[in-house]
Every structure is written in C-alpha cells, then in structure tokens.
Amino acid sequence: MQQATAPGKIILVGEHAVVYGRPAIAAPVWGTVATAILEAGAPGSGCLIKASDLGTCMRLRDAGDEDPLATLTRLVLARLGITGEPDWQIELHSEIPIASGLGSGAAISTALVRVLFAQAGVEADPAVVSALVFESERFYHGTPSGIDNTVIAYGMPIWFVREQPPEPFSPSHTFLLAIADSGIRSPTKETVGAVRRGWLADPARYEARFDAIANLVRQARVAMEAGQEEALGAIMDQNQERLAELEVSSPQLEQMIAAAREAGALGAKLSGGGRGGNVIALVTESRASAVRRALLSAGARRVLFTIVGGAAS
C-alpha cells in the first residue's frame, strides 16, 4: 500500500492579478489535506480511481479525456514510463472543501501524482509534480496562473510570478491567520472568467487595478520580512478593496471580513477566487478566539488557524 498527502493553500495577497503576470504570495495549509491511497488490485482488474468526495468512481480504461483525474493519471503513467494499465485501486479523499478557494482540486491532483510516483519508486520532485498538476488544473479553471499547483506541490510559502520558477519565501517571523469558510461554493473558473470579461471590456482600467494589487504584494513581502504585523494587516485590507473593485467579493464575505476586523483582526480579505469560499484574517494570539467567535456569528461554517513563516510553515 502507498499513501500520499497534499495540503490546502491560501493566497495571502495578489489573487486574480497573478493571472495577468503580477506577483502573489501564497502559503500551504497543512491543517486541511487531501490524501491518496493506492493498493494493488487483482490481476486483470485494471486501474480503478475512486474519489468519494467528488462522487467519482471510474475505471481508467473507461474514462474519457474530459475527466481531469483520468487524464492526469494517464499523463503520470506516461511520464513514469508505465505502459499498459496497471492493476491498482486508488482512493482519493479530501478534507478541503471543494470550490472554496483553498485549492481542493490541485491538492487532490497533487496527492494522486505523489502516490503514483511512490508506487513506481520514483522520487517526486516538486517542480515535476507541479507541472503535471498544472495540466489538470486547466480542466478546473480554464486559465490558471499556476499558483495553486505550485504552492501545494512545494508545500511552503512562495512568492509567485506566472511562468517563472517560484521563490520559496519563508520569513523568520510568524503570522497567525484565521481561515473562515463562508460555506458558499464558488468555482474559480467562474470568477477568473468574470474578471477576464471585465478586462476584455476595459483593459486599461483593469491593468491599473492589477498594478495597484502588485504594489500591495511587494509591500506585503517587505512587511512580512520585517515582521510588521500591523502593516501586513493594513495591506490585506487594501487588497480586499481592490478585489471588491474587481467584483469578486460578496455581501456574505464582506460581513465576515467586517466582523473579523471589529473583533480585533489586524486585517482581513477574501482568499482565492472569491464570491464565496474562504476569508483570511490576520490575528494576534490574544484576539484569535474573539475573531473566531465573530466569524462564526457572521455566518462562517468553520474556522481554521494556520501559521505562515518561521519553522511552522
């Protein structure tokens, strides 16, 4: 038996603008993971892929090219030089809510790639895993920047610019973040598509908005490296304003963000595609419980905490 896991992710600053070549900072969330388990099946049984959370159970030989998990499995088998269909049963589980901005699709795909590499006895280099997962990400959201597969495959905070090697980025200071799920599912493909329509209709206005976000991302890096929590919180708030201008916020997200700030969060914003999914709030340890309670009262389904930076990330 082989088992592999992959974390969820948050985007600290820079989502959407990152699709248009601007930088973004993302971090893994090890408190919520996807898992793949591979067991040898009976001779001749073929390759069975079961993803109960996605309501999928298929035999590789019967699955069409439009299925992202089957396509990814075929890609990986080809990469590993495995010809013919192996007799394997693969079970995929994910604690990461789907379409919530936490990278569930990329995490499931990463766990799948890793378990296939483990079964073949080949070391899974993060750059190779990330490139394979990127192929399947295109099924989930059309024109992905590649940030989700990269941060999840590397499993460490990154400074990311599209089509460039990621810069692992782990400030010595630690930052505590509350991650609150609105319970509203919002596929990234749709929000990325909505921003693209806006950009096509008024490119100059959208390019200026993306530039403003890029400036905030650069300031966030300086604040993180200097351990300036309050400055980072203020930058997150400004990033949220820019995201609202891109029309990817929603009344429910704004309510949760306002509640977190009122309860003492240093800053709060949506994370990922938006219009649903998760918000993140930067908190001090002394305000963490109050912010958690405020987020739950404002409608959050669950609140996780994660630490970015330092040894923990």
Give the residues lining the site for ligand MEV (CB under 6 A): 11, 15-16, 18-19, 101, 141, 144-145, 147-148, 188, 192, 272-273
State the minimum distance, in angstroms, from the CB of residue 110 to ligand MEV: 14
How many whole angstroms separate alpha carbon 195 and alpha carbon 136? 21
Q: Give the residue with the Cβ less far from ligand MEV, 11 or 291.
A: 11
Determine the 3-state secondary structure of 211 from DSSP. helix
How many whole angstroms separate alpha carbon 20 and alpha carbon 182? 27
State the minimum distance, in angstroms, from the CB of residue 28 to ligand MEV: 13
In whole angstroms, how large is the CA radius of gyration of the chain? Answer: 19
Q: Give the residue with the Cβ less far from ligand MEV, 136 or 188.
A: 188
State the minimum distance, in angstroms, from the CB of residue 181 to ligand MEV: 15
In the numeric block, the tokens 């429910």 are attached to 252
Chain-centroid distance, C-alpha 94: 13
Q: Give the residue with the Cβ less far from ligand MEV, 141 or 292.
A: 141
Indicate the pairing of strand 48-51 with strand 88-94. Answer: parallel
Chain-centroid distance, C-alpha 309: 17
Q: Give the residue with the Cβ less far from ligand MEV, 101 or 155.
A: 101
State the minimum distance, in angstroms, from the CB of residue 156 to ligand MEV: 17
Query: Are residues 143 and 192 in contact, defined by beta-carbon separation less than 8 angstroms?
Result: yes
State the minimum distance, in angstroms, from the CB of residue 38 to ligand MEV: 27
Measured at CB, which residue is nearest to ligand MEV? Answer: 145
For 78, other C-beta atoms within 10 Å of its C-beta total: 10
How many whole angstroms separate alpha carbon 266 and alpha carbon 126? 33
Q: Give the residue with the Cβ less far from ligand MEV, 182 or 188.
A: 188
In the numeric block, the tokens 């460490």 are attached to 156
The single-letter DSSP state of residue 21 is T
State the minimum distance, in angstroms, from the CB of residue 268 to ligand MEV: 17
State the minimum distance, in angstroms, from the CB of residue 232 to ligand MEV: 19
How many whole angstroms separate alpha carbon 112 and alpha carbon 6? 9
Quote the tokens at residue 10: 């948050």
How many whole angstroms separate alpha carbon 28 and alpha carbon 224? 16
Q: Give the residue with the Cβ less far from ligand MEV, 151 or 288.
A: 151
Q: Give the residue with the Cβ less far from ligand MEV, 113 or 243.
A: 243
